[in-house]
Amino acid sequence: MRYRAEAFDIWEYFCDQIHNATVRCRIDFAGRIDEEALTRAVTLSEETIPMVGCCFEGNGRTPYWVDKGFTGKDMVGVVEAGDDIEEEVLRAFAVRIDVGLGPVMRMTIVRTADADILCVDISHLVCDAAGFKEYLALVSGIYTKLRRGERLPVQHAYPRGTKPLFTQTGLREKAKLLRTPIEPSGRALQDQPGLDFHSGEKTAFMEYRVVPPEDFAAFKSALTSNGASINDGLTALYARAVARGLGLSYATFDSTIDWRKFIPPDVPYGITNYAGNCKCDISVEPGDSVLDTVKQAAQQMRLYTEGKYVLGEALEWDLAVRFIPYTFWKKNFARLLPIAPVTFSNIGILAWSDMNFDGMPIRFAYMTGAIRTRPYLQLTISTFEGACTLACNIYGSQEERQFVDTLLGDIVREMSAFTERSLANEIFSASTTEE
């Protein structure tokens, strides 16, 4: 059986040719997971999202998904962890997903002495990070009912295309969206340098830092007291760290935005890609404080969060693949629509209720993206139980790994300094008022 390739599937397929476009999730359970129930749950999930059992055929004149009959047995595996658990986790994530050969999703249970770590790797052609969270919730729900012997609900494969995004958008408004591009400045995203170290042997690295719940809550409170959101603050800190690390007075990068907020609550939609891009161009002068950069980031983010203008990108690409031959895009995508070397993605909250797998306690979890090669650099942010995990994955040299290590360290350091400074100002203001 064949399934239609939607506009965003095609976009991610072209991106996959540059870096293996995947979304990853690590879940550290406090016990053992039932691999047989998990295997069956993955197989049953294909009733809702058939792409999980398919391969993507992108070499012909027309792209499509083709059912290869993959089941959970092809996608779920167990490995016994040795002395270095982190190395085993990296090994599970480092295997490339080939969407033309499949499977497009892989779950590896890394079995430690007393518990399991679930490493889930899914092609970005199937879904973005928000869609991945929906998929984990689907599999977790099926797994739970299987374990408890409960009756499974009827599943539906809902539309995965752009139609749900424009349910309440007429032709006149669509035309306006196409005429209103958002450009924070004249600097092109591809002009931003990325990783450019050429010394040493290349290796896969997955670096991350965890900000404890109390520290992250204090940072969020400090931002709120200054009229900014957590996304404004994280965007600003990333811009400052990138600019500092590359010796520049600015940082230009793509930041993701979830288009699902434009879908009315009563309109069903499938597990897919609904992630758009905000084009950030943030200046970072030597004398700028963190607050200066936060205010600049907040101002740029408002361009994308107010109104539907950000949907222009979705509409434009949907029309492009509908009316321009696929063979043209195969030849010209990389030249006409180059991928930004530097990107940022705030994946948001991972909810225990969406991935508890029959009530299994979870010690730690985070979600991240592809392992990228030079010059591409991506920071992903996710939170679980109040803790924030900053992650950056590269396939590069030790020098590039050191760059990433410093980048993450700078963000955490400035986060702490901004929080302490804001708290000191509050105490000073309070004492002044009392006097």
pLDDT confidence bin for 178, thresholds 50/70/90: confident
Residues 6+ apart with CB under 8 A from 191: 252
pLDDT at 390: 98
- Report the range out of 15-19, 188-192, 228-232, 334-338 with the highest average pLDDT: 228-232
Among 149-158, 263-272, 382-391, 423-432, the range scoring the smallest mean pLDDT is 423-432
pTM above 0.85, yes or no: yes
* pLDDT value at 431 more than 50: no
Domain ranges for the chain, please list them: 2-434
Report the alpha-carbon distance of residue 161 to residue 164 in Å, rounded.
7
Mean pLDDT of all residues in 289-306 = 89
pLDDT at 186: 56
DSSP 344-395: EEEEEEEPGGGS-TTT--EEEEEEE---EETT-EEEEEEEETTEEEEEEEEE
Domain 2-434, CATH 3.40.50.300 — does that match?
no
**Of the candidates 3, 191, 22, which has an alpha carbon nearest to the alpha carbon of residue 119?**
22
Tens-place pLDDT, residues 57-109: 999 999 999 999 999 999 999 999 988 999 999 999 999 999 999 899 999 99
Report the alpha-carbon distance of residue 138 to residue 412 in Å, rounded.
34
Tens-place pLDDT, residues 196-208: 776 678 899 999 9
Report the alpha-carbon distance of residue 336 to residue 190 in Å, rounded.
11
Mean pLDDT of all residues in 344-357 = 94
DSSP 91-131: HHHHSPP-TTTS-SEEEEEEE-SS-EEEEEEEETTT--HHH
When the pLDDT of each residue in the chain is averaged and rounded to a whole number, the result is 91
DSSP 226-262: TT--HHHHHHHHHHHHHHHHHT-SEEEEEEEEEGGGG
Question: What residues are paired with 350 via a beta bridge?
Answer: 384
Between 51 and 334, the more confident residue is 51
Report the alpha-carbon distance of residue 32 to residue 22 in Å, rounded.
26
Give me the numbers of helices (H) and strands (E) for the chain, helices first please. 12, 15
160-198 core/surface letters (b: 16 or more CB in 10 A; e: else): bbbebbbeeeeeeebeebeeeeeebeeeebeebebbeee
pLDDT at 316: 92
pLDDT confidence bin for 419, thresholds 50/70/90: very high
Mean pLDDT of all residues in 155-170 = 90
